[in-house]
Amino acid sequence: MVIVKEPPPPKPRKKTSLAPMGGGADIVAASPATELEGVQVTGSRIPRSQIEGPAPITVMTAQEIQANGFTTVPDVLRAMTQNGGETQSQQSASAADFSPGAQQVDLRGLGPNHTLVLVNGRRIADFPMPFKGRSNFTDISNIPLGMVDRIEILTGSASAIYGSDAISGVVNFILKKRADGTTVDFRLGDSTRGGGESFNLSVSSGYGNDRFNAVYGFELQVQNPLWAYERSIQDSTRDAPTASTRAARRAFLRTNWYDEYLDPGAACDPLASLNGGTTYRASRPGWGPDGEDGHYCGSDESIGYGTMINKREGLNAYASLSYAFGDASEWFADLQLGYHELSMYRDVTEWSYQAPDGNEAGYFHNRATDQVEYWQRQFSPEEMGGLDRGMIRNRQRTFSLATGFKGRFGEAWDWEAALSHSQYQSTISWPQIVASRANDLFLGPQLGVDDDGFAIFDADPERLYRPLSRQEYDAIAARSTYRPKSRTDALSLTLTNTELFALPAGAVGFAGTLELGNQSYDLRPDPLATGYHYYSWRDSDGRGSRDRWAAAGELRVPLHERLNLSVAGRYDQYRYGGHDIDKFTYSAGLEWRPIDFLLLRGSYGTAFRAPDLHYVFAGEGNQESSGIDYYRCRSEEPDSDLNDCSYGDEGLVVTRSGNRKLEPETSTSWTAGVVWSPRPNLDFSADYFDIDLSDQVQDLRIDDVLRDEAGCRLGTRADRSAVDAGSPTCADALARVRRTGEGKLYGVYVNPINIARERTSGVDFSTHYRLDTGLGTFRLGASYTWVREHESQQYAGDRVEDQFAVNSGFDIPRTKASASVSWEKERWSATVHGERLGRLPSGDSYNEIYEPDGDARAWIGATYRYNASLRYRFSDHAQLSLAVTNLFDKLPPKDATYSSYPYYDVSWFDAVGRQVFLQYTHKFGGRAL
């Protein structure tokens, strides 16, 4: 939306369009109103008097953020209906492994790396660790919400204006620029089910005289963790949806070569005190010798050792400074500092035999029993010395500075020269088990290798079934510490002229910019982590940088008093790793107002995106994962459900590296819409969008590779459709899967590739209404997004995958909606905010094993969440507010097919439940709140 200069107030001039009082997006009032001063709009560099533009823009102001009950930036963006991609939550295992504490925004579901995040219109440094170990992205979790004046979201291609990152859209956080007096916000929060208490203190102030203006402030955040065991929905394996998945967790397990469980018998008794006294001799049907019950030492409740909400303690500081010289020029500087300490718990540490060469199959020849065996055990909190010792810790330090000069020469030319620098540094440590030390502790020295290639140990099983002392655990435990950092620098010169020359319908506006920039990242991992030192942890290194320069121009042309044309063009060049990538992109938009209260608009743009640095420069590394061996399930147990297949949860090693041969991504995007304001206090808008992305860079999905391998080896897919064994996909999949000589699945090799295509289209709708009555003023704001299609294609010549189809393997909603109703009278105001998340695939459909003839469902139905707030103004300078999120204490929907812990989709749901926040705001001096 717009950046409106607040003081002085605009002078009454003539009819034009205004942003609706309810906030939100799109525009328009037809009544006599006011003409605003020259303003700058996200989506354009040209100051202009009209608020609306050819492309739809959504805005959320600070007042609306508080009224709707949002307490963090991720909460705000999660409510945006255009934010339709699957991202990582605070309890995501992938997030804990790859990007601890960070959170993302994913407009249009094209991936977080395709959404450009700006602060005050400028780029900030990426989170220094890659999203899911793959792509670079911007962390939105530590942007100080208390200092945000408004958030502006432009969806659709904006590359011709902002550069190559803005394929699916732009999120621009506008921080406070003016302050009169000092404002103090104090907020306490708690959940009604217990756990996750929070505290927030925000102070902002300012100073100004005829020449100098300063706004500054800080925000202090304290968030206590919320543990999984504090919610009955996920504190035990007994919460699992099916009988076969309710078995106790395998805390101590011993099997033979045939994966048959070897009964520990009374050996579980000395372990009974572990895991809070919940360890016992458990069984799992069908896993013992000859198909009998398999026995092991397990715990139902050890599954609950994990955080749902991270522990966070942090401080953000911000200052915006300016000094006006006497010659219409001005110096400016925006400074941001952040320091945060985060702690999260993914799971207890564990061990099984890992060979010196990194082989994690775990089998060895046990001379004590004269058979090939597999041993596995987890380490309980009692052995570790408490849960705190198993925390993943992340100390974050962020710094951004933008400074420069701006002014005017001649009668109409404005200029700005700016230098910006942003950096993000972290110190992240993970608890680890040193593989060789643990091997020695449990198995003793290696005695050679047998004829079949198995390492020989003389290991009495009693060495497995015994609690460790704190000293013994410390002797095999360590912390692996990374010190990643990222940086982005830019130098820019911008010229604008709102009256470049005159046409019969009005003046032509122009903006031009030149930019020079450099971007870098360096994972700086623990050197021991890039080898086979730690159990099941061989990470990749990654570092690289790139230079870029760009030249761009934009024109706004009034073709008629009711018809405006906007055109923009940009040339970008990137240089990295011996490669030069350059591209010219352009965009055009039309605004036509046939009558005062009706706007018809449309836009078209091209875009390109250089590959992420980590996609290019990542070194080779391994990660432990699991997958379904579709080939053995389908060939050896064709009548078994995949949930019950003996090969349905096979451990495997995923090897990944970067790809320096990646090509840039390209896209086209267009929108067409209408904004109708039949009354001064009522407006509607509807915009169709279409984004077509080619040569998109993505990592191959492990499940897709395993599924393709099975189909290529068997000649048919699971749905019995034929597979061309000579297709590019088959040749690729067969080369990527590694199996042992006995045919057991061992590993999968993946890397980023340019997939052929991804496309999405749909409609955004919004409405705003204001009603003044004797009972007070009522406001309504609502938005709705319907995605018509979202398709992808891995290789040219492959079939096009419908991401909304049953068994697609994708987890995105077709529809999202949000609405707010507010009331205000004298000292009182209240708001109710609701969100609707459209249906999502069930666990079976996401895992691509749904069978229409079975009893399971293909979909999880739409879900609803509500927030409410109530505010009372004691005076013009003091206010108390009460906000309740998840008003009706809704928990995640039940899905009988979601058999993986925590038994619901953590990308979209959580079990936090209702939260209550009490906030007091006091302003010392200045205007009224």
Neighbours of 599 (CB within 10 A): 26
Which helix or strand (DSSP H or E) is residue 414 part of?
strand 413-433
Residue with tokens 């073709």, as numbered in its chain? 559
Question: Is pLDDT of 11 > 50?
Answer: no
**Each residue of 365-419: pLDDT tens digit?**
999 999 999 999 999 999 999 999 999 999 999 999 999 999 999 888 999 999 9
Residue 751: name the closest of 588, 615, 853 by CA: 615
Q: Of 581, 599, 598, which is closest to residue 590 (Cα–Cα)?
A: 599
The model's pTM:
0.87
Model pLDDT, residue 428:
97
Confidence of residue 884 (pLDDT cuts 50, 70, 90): very high
Question: Up-side HSE of residue 337: CA atoms within 13 Å toward CB?
Answer: 7
**If you compute the radius of gyration of the chain from its CA atoms, what whole number of angstroms results?**
29
pLDDT class of 52 with cuts at 50, 70, 90: low
Pairing label, strands 226-227, 212-223: unpaired
- The burial class, CB within 10 Å (0-12 / 13-18 / 19+), for 468 is buried
Q: What is the pLDDT of residues 420-456, one digit of tens each?
A: 999 999 999 999 999 999 999 999 999 999 999 999 9
pLDDT in tens, 769-797: 999 999 999 999 999 999 999 999 887 77
Query: How far is 298 from 253, CA to CA, in rounded Å?
Result: 8
pLDDT at 22: 30
CB 124 within 8 A of CB 117: yes
The predicted pLDDT at position 162 comes to 79
pLDDT of residue 51: 57
Residue 5's pLDDT band (cuts 50, 70, 90):
very low
Task: Name the pairing type of β-strands 537-538 and 621-627.
Answer: antiparallel
Q: How far is residue 120's CA from residue 127's CA, in Å, rounded to a whole number?
A: 18
Neighbouring C-alpha atoms within 13 Å toward the C-beta of 885: 21
pLDDT of 163 above 80: no
pLDDT greater than 70 at residue 234: yes
Quote the mean pLDDT of the chain. 89
Residues 6+ apart with CB under 8 A from 903: 233, 234, 239, 240, 241, 895
pLDDT of residue 564: 93
CA nearest to 167, candidates 631, 695, 623, 540:
695
Supply the pLDDT for residue 50: 41
The single-letter DSSP state of residue 680 is T
Is the pLDDT at 186 greater than 80? The verdict is: yes
| 768, 682 Cβ separation under 8 angstroms | yes
Write 646-651 long-range contacts (CB < 8 A, 24+). 646/259, 647/745, 650/626, 650/744, 650/745, 651/360, 651/362, 651/624, 651/625, 651/626
Q: Is the pLDDT of residue 521 over 90?
A: yes
**pLDDT (mean) for 345-356:** 95
Q: Indicate if the pLDDT at residue 475 is higher than 50.
A: yes
Asked whether residue 485 carries a pLDDT value surpassing 70, the answer given is yes
Please state the rounded mean pLDDT for residues 712-730.
88
How many C-beta atoms surround the C-beta of residue 33 within 10 A? 16
Distance CA(779)–CA(825), nearest Å, equals 12
Angle between helices 728-736 and 702-714 in degrees, nearest 10: 110
Please state, for a pLDDT cut of 70, what percent of the chain lies above it: 94
Strands 182-191, 198-208: pairing is antiparallel
Place of tokens 């550069």: 163
Residues 633-666: pLDDT tens digits?
999 988 877 777 888 878 788 888 888 888 899 9
pLDDT at 926: 86
Q: Tell me what percent of the residues of the chain surpass a pLDDT of 90.
A: 68
Write down the pLDDT at residue 23. 32
Q: Is the pLDDT of residue 40 over 60?
A: no
How many other C-beta atoms can be found within 10 angstroms of the C-beta atom of residue 168? 31
Q: How confident is the model at residue 483 (pLDDT cuts 50, 70, 90)?
A: very high
pLDDT value for 35 = 36
Strands 169-175 and 115-119: parallel
pLDDT the model gives residue 856: 82
Three-class SS state of 506 = strand
pLDDT digits (tens, 9 = 90+) for 822-874: 999 999 999 999 999 999 999 999 988 888 887 789 999 999 999 999 999 99
Which range is least confidently modeled, 27-31, 487-491, 528-532? 27-31
**Does the pLDDT of residue 57 top 90, yes or no?**
no
Taking alpha carbons only, the member of 702, 525, 554 closest to residue 621 is 525
Cis amide leading into 32 (omega within 30): no
pLDDT band at 44 (very low <50, low <70, confident <90, very high): very low
> Taking residues 283-301, what's their average pLDDT?
94
